Amino acid sequence: MSSAFIKILDRYGESIPFSHITFTDIQYDGKIVFTAQHLKERLQQMNESTSLAVRLSYIRWYIYEEIHEMRKSRMPKLLRQTREDPEHVYDWEEYARELSIEESTQLAKKVDGFIKLNGFALYKKLFTTAGLLKSLSLGIVLPKNIDEIMLYTKESLEGNKLENEDALALMYLQMLIGENTVANEIYRPIRQVIVDEAQDYYTLHFKIMKGLFPNARFTVLGDINQTIEKQENMDLYERITEVLKPKSSCLMVMNKSFRCTKEILNFSMQFLDGDTPFESFNRSGDIPQIIEGKDTELIDQKVMEEAFYSEKQGYGSIGILCKNNKLAEGLYERLKDKMAIHLVRSGDNLNTKGVFIIPITMSKGLEFDSVLVYGVDESHYHTKDDKKLLYIASTRALHRLNLFYTGRKSSIFQGGI
């Protein structure tokens, strides 16, 4: 989620009280109690540091406080009216009460029509109202494909479909207008928040967390070398500090590995760009091997042999890591009848005892006694993002690491990319 879009959302949130709430005249007992213009001005005069939802709740109270006084004289009028109604000779009192309730119901619907905010409707309006988003982007550099992005988002929202990135933006907009007041009250007392895998979060994630936990201190943990789907450097932590705005902050760089053996760490270092000063806690093991197979059947056999060998060595957790779900599922189907093995799917509660097949992206934060990286050929690993995946996969291993491929070995191992 780009900083440009965050600025647009901020501007949109600020403009809602002025341009995107349709106030209506409030009438009661045949009189205009408050004009729409008066209510709009009343809202705009209120303290902007208070959330929009709270300000609107005050407007509701302001309206009903006046109506409450008027009701004292309204009920006698209704009673006189219904007593003279020939259709309600015997139930005129009950009918008067029904009329009073109906008037209150209609009034509440009218008030709620502009008091109750709908974050999804407001977010949808941002993309479906011609020129709105671009009018909010004056002075902001937009992507070259902004028209394509807007069209895709508009079509999704009109079909009531919410993509992941739109859900994040919607949550931020809801936070700006104070729609989630109940959640805010629940989280407000929390004093400490720990964020792991920080390198995979965007600025908007941290803005939302700051809004949800305004009184908390944050401990933010991450490894920029394990970033997926975006590029990061050490400036990440400066941007996070700017968003969270702590009274004081401290950056600690932990560069000694207690997980891997010295050999595994040294092997993994080839996937990092630049001179990264990592040290290994002095623990030695076998040198990782890159093992070739002439075809899929042979490489599958070698993978099974390595898994069996690791079990005989007493390794309780063995991870066979594949680049994506498709490769993982295919390998599982070929091996499931030949050995005891588990396929890890999204949402699984993983107990890493046994032999597992798992996509690399799902292995982050996990560790295995023995790791087997499947399919490290050139067709699967040839980009900078692939280089990161190999780093993540290799550093999942505690004691033993081996990699397997058919065809042409990835050029990443020869210092390519």
CATH label of the domain that carries residue 301: 3.40.50.300
For 132, other C-beta atoms within 10 Å of its C-beta total: 17
Residue 53 sits at φ, ψ, to 5 deg, of -60, -40
Whether the predicted pLDDT of 346 surpasses 80: no
Q: What is the pLDDT of residue 336?
A: 94
Q: What is the pLDDT of residue 88?
A: 80
Mean pLDDT confidence for 135-141: 92
Domain boundary among 55, 85, 116: 116
56 Cβ neighbours under 8 A, 6+ residues apart:
21, 43, 114, 115, 116, 117
Say whether both 48 and 80 belong to one domain: yes
Say whether both 408 and 338 belong to one domain: yes
Say whether both 403 and 273 belong to one domain: yes
Please report whether residue 257 resides in a domain. no
Mean pLDDT confidence for 334-338: 95
Residues forming beta bridges with residue 26, ordered by sequence position: 34
Task: Quote the CA–CA distance of 208 and 9 in Å, as a whole number.
Answer: 13
Per 3-state DSSP, what percentage of the chain is helix, strand, and coil (rounded to 5)? 50, 15, 35
Please report whether residue 250 resides in a domain. no
Which tops the pLDDT comparison, 301 or 160? 301
Task: Quote the CA–CA distance of 119 and 180 in Å, as a whole number.
Answer: 10
198 Cβ neighbours under 8 A, 6+ residues apart:
220, 221, 222, 236, 240
Chain segment 63-121, per-residue pLDDT in tens: 999 888 888 788 888 788 888 787 887 888 887 888 888 888 899 999 999 998 889 99
Say whether both 303 and 360 belong to one domain: yes
CA atoms lying within 13 Å on the CB side of residue 187? 16
Say whether both 109 and 127 belong to one domain: no
Say whether both 140 and 104 belong to one domain: no
Which tops the pLDDT comparison, 255 or 62? 62
Please say whether the beta carbons of 101 and 55 come within 8 A: no
Task: Quote the CA–CA distance of 302 and 51 in Å, as a whole number.
Answer: 62
Chain segment 375-398, per-residue pLDDT in tens: 999 999 999 889 999 999 999 999
Structure tokens at 179: 């729609």
Please report whether residue 256 resides in a domain. no
Number of domains in the chain: 3
Please report whether residue 1 resides in a domain. no
Say whether both 273 and 406 belong to one domain: yes
Say whether both 401 and 268 belong to one domain: yes
Domain boundary among 86, 116, 146: 116
Domain of 56, in residue numbers: 10-116
Say whether both 406 and 282 belong to one domain: yes
User: What burial class does residue 52 get, using C-beta atoms within 10 Å of its C-beta: 0-12 exposed, 13-18 middle, 19+ buried?
Assistant: buried
Please report whether residue 128 resides in a domain. yes
Say whether both 409 and 328 belong to one domain: yes
Task: Quote the CA–CA distance of 417 and 411 in Å, as a whole number.
Answer: 8
Domain boundary among 116, 150, 178: 116
Mean pLDDT confidence for 269-275: 77
Chain segment 152-199, per-residue pLDDT in tens: 999 999 888 888 889 999 999 998 888 766 566 788 899 999 999 888
The continuous run of DSSP H or E covering 220 comes out as strand 217-220
Q: Please tell me the least confidently modeled range out of 137-141, 192-196, 260-264, 310-314.
A: 260-264
Say whether both 107 and 126 belong to one domain: no
Say whether both 223 and 273 belong to one domain: no
